[in-house]
A = this chain, B = another copy of it.
C-alpha cells in the first residue's frame, strides 16, 4: 500500500520512516453526514494498516487561536464563559475560531480585541496544539501577546457572553491544582508558556 501523504508523515519521523506504512489509514471514500449551524461531521471509509476496512467520523473545523495576553504586571487576561456542552462556567484564555481568509495571528488579534478590548504591540507564536485528535481536525495556534493597551470596549459576537479579568500566574497555578481551570487549550497553552519560561 502506498504511503498516503508519505512525505509529510515520514518527514516527521526520520528515525523511523516505516512507521507510516505500519500505522496509516488510507481514505477510500468521503461523505458529509451532518451539516449543522455550528458543526459539520464527516464520515470516511478507510483502509486500515491490516488491509481491512472501517469508518472514521470526525468534526471538520476551520481552526482556532488562543492567546496568552500578558498585562504589564505579568498577570494574564482570563475569561469566564458559560460552555453549554458541559453546562458550566469555565475559566479560560481568550480564544476564537479562525475566519475564512484569516491567518491564525490575524484571528488572534481580532479575537483579543473583540473579547477583551485590548490590542497588543508584540505577538509571538508559541506553537500549535490539536485539542481533540480522536474526532476533530481542529488545530489551535497559541500566541503570546505583550505590550497590551485597552483600545476599545468588548465587542462580542451575537450570542456570545463572557467576562474578562486578570489572574496572576501563581493564582492560575493554584486554580489548576484546585481543579478550577480544566479547559484543555488553556492548560496546553500555559504549558507552552512554562516551557518557554514566559
Contacts and interface: CB of A to CB of B under 8 A. Distances in A.
Contacts of A127: 176-177, 179, 182
A39 interface: yes
Contact of A129 (B8, B46, B57, B184): B184
Nearest to A43: B36
A122 interface: no
Number of copies: 2
B136 A132 contact: yes
Main secondary structure of the interface of A (DSSP, over half): mixed
A86 B174 CA distance: 34
A145 interface: no
B34 A183 contact: no
A: contact size bracket: 35 or more
A92 interface: yes
A149 interface: no
Given A80-B23, A86-B137, A184 B188 contact: yes
- The 8 A-B pairs of least Cβ separation, nearest first, read A191-B191, A187-B188, A58-B85, A34-B34, A131-B184, A23-B82, A56-B84, A83-B133
